[in-house]
Structure 1
């Protein structure tokens, strides 16, 4: 079994960061945006088959999750899964299940 060192635990991003990314100035959509944030975090972790963001890859996972939130927010009726640009960013961290 490998040794794992967890430097810190915390959110991948804040609601304020995501709202700035989406150019949203009001609190009207906060609950929806928060739900999209939670879903995007789970999506990047599930896609990579990991339970934590790899140490040193925080910014890559953050940008990929922001892309997913943007896609969910702009295409509320549903998209085609994880956007290809987000997949490109996190593919190097994807663990294949055997």
Structure 2
């Protein structure tokens, strides 16, 4: 078994970063956006079957999660899982359980 070293634990992104990405200026949807942010983080990690973002891959997971938040925000009626572009970004980090 290999050793795991965690150097830092923190949020993948901030509400302000996500609102900027979504081009949202008001605080009207803050609660909804925060819920989407939480769901997006969990979704990309679940897709990869991992609990934490791999060290050095923070930007890849951040962009993938931003894509998921955008999809959730723009298609509030629900989509069909993770957007394909997000999947392509994080596929190299996916651990398939057998």
CA distance in 1, matches of 2:41, 2:93: 14
* 1:26-53 deviation per Cα after TM superposition (whole angstroms, max 9, x unaligned): 0000000000000000000000000000
The offset of 1:80, in angstroms, is 1.1
Superposition pairs for residues 5-44 of structure 1, below 5 Å? 5-44=5-44
The offset of 1:87, in angstroms, is 0.1
CA distance in 1, matches of 2:41, 2:2: 25
Structure 2: unaligned runs, 5 residues or longer: none
RMSD, aligned CA: 0.4
Question: Structure 1 length normalisation: TM-score?
Answer: 0.99
The number of residues matched between the two structures is 98
Is 1:74 equivalent to 2:57 in the alignment? no
Report the 3-state secondary structure (helix = DSSP H, G, I; strand = E; otherwise coil) of the residue aligned with 1:65.
Answer: helix
CA distance in 2, matches of 1:72, 1:13: 16
CA distance in 2, matches of 1:58, 1:7: 12
Residue matched to 1:59: 59
The 4+ residue runs of structure 1 with deviation greater than 3 A are none
The offset of 1:58, in angstroms, is 0.2
Question: Structure 2 length normalisation: TM-score?
Answer: 0.99
